[in-house]
Amino acid sequence: MKTCFFLGHRDAPETLMKALEESVFRHIIEYGVDHFTVGRYGSFDRMAYQTVCEMKKRYDVSLSLLLPYHPFDCPVRVPEGFDHTFYPPGMETVPKRAAIIQANRYMIRHSDYLICYDRGQIGNTRILAEEARRKERGGLIKVENLFDE
């Protein structure tokens, strides 16, 4: 199984949708990605979710919802279109204020591909995207930043 994670700014513009669709298509067709994971905290996550749901109609791919908070502490209604939920191991001891960052970091460490929208602004998206690019230099992940396009 080849996995792809999404990471991006919560206020990503809707104009990004076409580039996101092309990127997801490329990851399925060229790279053989068959599993995608996305959170649900902002515009970029929402667009990624919508894009993968559309691709699921044509291709045999699955979609997981990343849960940064323990499902017993913060019950979540899983939107239609997700095949699974995923709560990273070891997150029980992470303070709530750091949970999203740590869950994203876990996914970057355990994914083959990352589709991101990093504008280079100070913040967690930039920090995590930089970590992913360092991993990419070591051949551990392939990163595509849609802001560069």
Report the alpha-carbon distance of residue 118 to residue 122 in Å, rounded. Answer: 10
pLDDT of residue 116: 97
- Domain for residue 12, yes or no? yes
3-state SS assignment for residue 91: helix
How far apart CA 134 and CA 63 sit, in angstroms, is 26
Cα–Cα–Cα angle for 46, 50, 51, rounded to 5 degrees: 115
CATH number at residue 58: 3.40.50.450
Whole-number pLDDT of residue 37: 98
Residue-level pLDDT at 74? 67
Q: Give CA–CA dist 91/68, Å, rounded.
A: 8
Give the Cα separation of 86 and 71 in Å (integer): 10
Domain with 138 in it:
3-88+110-148
Q: Is residue 36 part of a domain?
A: yes
The stretches in the chain having pLDDT less than 50 are none
- Whether 93 is in a domain gets the answer no
- Kindly state whether residue 104 falls inside one of the protein's structural domains: no
Global pTM value: 0.94
Sheet hosting strand 35-38, strand order edge to edge: 84-86, 62-66, 35-38, 3-8, 113-117, 142-145
* Domain assignment of residue 50, yes or no: yes
In a domain, 101, yes or no: no
Predicted local confidence at residue 149, as pLDDT: 55
In a domain, 66, yes or no: yes
Number of domains observed in the structure of the chain: 1
pLDDT at 76: 76
Q: Does residue 30 lie in a domain region?
A: yes
Report pLDDT digits (tens) over 96-136: 999 999 999 999 999 999 999 999 888 899 999 999 999 99
